[in-house]
Chain A
């Protein structure tokens, strides 16, 4: 870990003022579960670390007429303990339970989960986010068993590591970002981006912005679920996940949102699968068809074809879990 100056502001304005307008100079510290690893591995070598945990307004879960407002500093454990989340957002609860370490749940925050860096082993060894060496793509030509099967046509082959990105996008959540010029709101779907060059990041947050809260629309009458395929029951990264949120009209799906996780550089909307479901009842045959449609466009790399099947199964099982009980 390189030495850095440290600040623990208590207001958002102070925190923003301490950020830099270029990546690499300052880092935001919240739960620390990812940042400290990045620092120890010299993947991030900031001159300044700004601990935002002292900013009270970034905490708490609040029910509002427009849905649930989740502060960026809400921990995974707090999310799990929240009655409103438990009642209406099983997809969030299931994603949180997938983070199998109680310690990580106590430390890690929802905002941090959305902002965490990819776990691509080439990236973590210092070969850069796009993992290139002498002009060769290490992920494409090397060991890509844990890499992307969607959205990998460009330079990026890593997968988004976020647990809450897929269910929150399925729920049509927005994020609020605050920078020196004020605040802006972004659909979470637009928050995740696929970088084209090493200078870019995998999120639309600007270097001098702070993700402050997540706004989740009401989910009453919107069955939702997350299914995660993880090799170990112990703390382990998922191999593929699927989150679904279904707007029902009687027994039929009026509109579906299906988002895959850990299969692409961003959480991955399965638009074709959503179309399959529109206007249909959730029969086994329809679910199967949707699962097939979800992976129809997959472009697996040399060593990760198996993830196509895992994604297919995840979609099917998430839909089965969300399907209203007759």
Chain B
């Protein structure tokens, strides 16, 4: 049993939302409502603009390139990359900020793209595996290949991005640092041995790495 409908013309806002105006009115910043013993606030500013819940303009800077999108505020950065753009290197595995397969760099820091709203990633420098792979593969990528730090490959882009951030902070890691680190990424195939060797090799091939 199935029912089919014609595709709609455009995505619109879900119905049944609380009126924006009424909502704000209900809270209000009453000037004279200060309770005894509470410190007064500095003067109240104008309420910030509300966006959504329907699609709104969202601009993302990914690997130095600007993308203008129309997204509901609830769309995560990961889903924006994968579903609304074509950056599919970051993977959705746990979708709950545990496994690290969606790791990207935001302003140079490794983060889980599944736990960031795309609208919140505006104005930031988002780096994905695609940016690390082109025009020429980052030596870290090559090191993963050379050391077989991957099997099915589904966690690999996230691991590479986490390793990129790790090496930026620890350019000269010891084996111990590498073998006890990376608690924010999981590999279901169990390629950890190769991953460790890859990271050490990448550190060594960059200047300064001597422990490997």
Residues of chain A touching chain B, judged by Cβ–Cβ distance below 8 Å, are 1-21, 25, 29, 31-33, 36-37, 39-40, 47-49, 51, 53, 77, 100-104, 106-107, 178, 180-184, 208, 233-235
Complex Cα–Cα for A233 and B114 (A): 22
Bound together, the chains give a CA A9 to CA B45 distance in angstroms of 10
Q: Given A101-B100, A106-B109, 13 more contacts at CB 8 Å?
A: A4-B52, A5-B17, A6-B56, A8-B120, A13-B29, A16-B27, A20-B27, A40-B96, A100-B183, A102-B165, A103-B111, A106-B110, A107-B116
Residue of B nearest to A49 (CB): B73
**Which residues from chain B contact A5 at a C-beta distance below 8 Å?**
17, 20, 50-53, 73
- Which of A12, A15, A48 lies in contact with B50, CB distance below 8 A? A48
- Smallest beta-carbon distance A163→chain B, Å: 14
Report the separation of the CA atoms of residues A49 and B74 in the bound assembly, to the nearest whole angstrom.
9
> Which B residues, 55 to 79, have Cβ-Cβ distances below 8 Å to chain A?
56, 72-74, 76
A233 touches B120 (CB 8 A): no
Q: How large is the interface on B (under 10, 10 to 19, 20 to 34, 35 or more residues)?
A: 35 or more
Q: Say yes or no: is B134 at the interface (Cβ < 8 Å to chain A).
A: no
- In the complex formed, the residue of B with least CB distance to A14 is B48
Given A16-B29, A39-B74, A102-B166, A6 and B119 contact (CB-CB distance below 8 Å) = yes
Across the interface, which residues of A come within 8 angstroms of B38, CB to CB? 181-184
Which residue of the partner chain, among B39, B45, B162, contacts A102 with CB atoms under 8 Å? Answer: B162
Q: Which of B43, B115, B166, B183 contacts A233 (CB 8 A)?
A: B183
Residue from the list B29, B39, B43, B96 in contact with A37, Cβ < 8 A: B96
A6-B51, A19-B27 are contacts. A182–B40 as well, Cβ < 8 Å?
yes
Given contacts A183-B39, A234-B183, A234-B186, contact A103 B110 (CB under 8 A): yes
**Closest CB in chain A relative to B20 CB, distance in Å:** 7
Q: List 17 A-B contacts (CB under 8 A).
A: A3-B74, A4-B52, A4-B74, A5-B50, A5-B51, A6-B117, A7-B51, A8-B48, A13-B42, A40-B95, A47-B18, A51-B120, A102-B162, A103-B111, A106-B111, A184-B37, A208-B27
| Nearest CB on B from A136, distance (A) | 27
Expressed in whole angstroms, the Cα–Cα distance for A40 and B98 within the complex equals 14
B49 contacts chain A at the CB level, 8 A cutoff: yes
Quick check: B184 and A103 within 8 Å, CB to CB? yes
Verify A21–B26 contact, CB threshold 8 A: yes
Q: Which residues of B contact A1 (CB under 8 A)?
A: 74
1/0 contact trace for B7-51 toward A, CB 8 Å? Answer: 000000110011010011011111001110111111111111111
Q: Which residues of A contact B162 (CB under 8 A)?
A: 102-103
- In the assembled complex, B97 has its CB within 8 A of some CB on chain A: yes
Closest residue on chain B to residue A21 by CB atoms: B27
Please measure, in the bound complex, the distance between the C-alpha atom of A48 and the C-alpha atom of B33, giving whole angstroms: 24
Tell me which residues across on chain B come within 8 A of A101, comparing CB atoms: 100, 183-184
Chain A residues with CB under 8 A of B96: 36-37, 40
Q: Are A103 and B119 in contact (CB under 8 A)?
A: no
Give B57 Cβ to nearest chain A Cβ, in Å: 12
Interchain CB contact under 8 A, B48 and A9: yes
Residues of B within 8 A of A47 (CB): 17-18, 23, 53
Asked whether any CB of chain A lies closer than 8 Å to the CB of B3, the reply is no
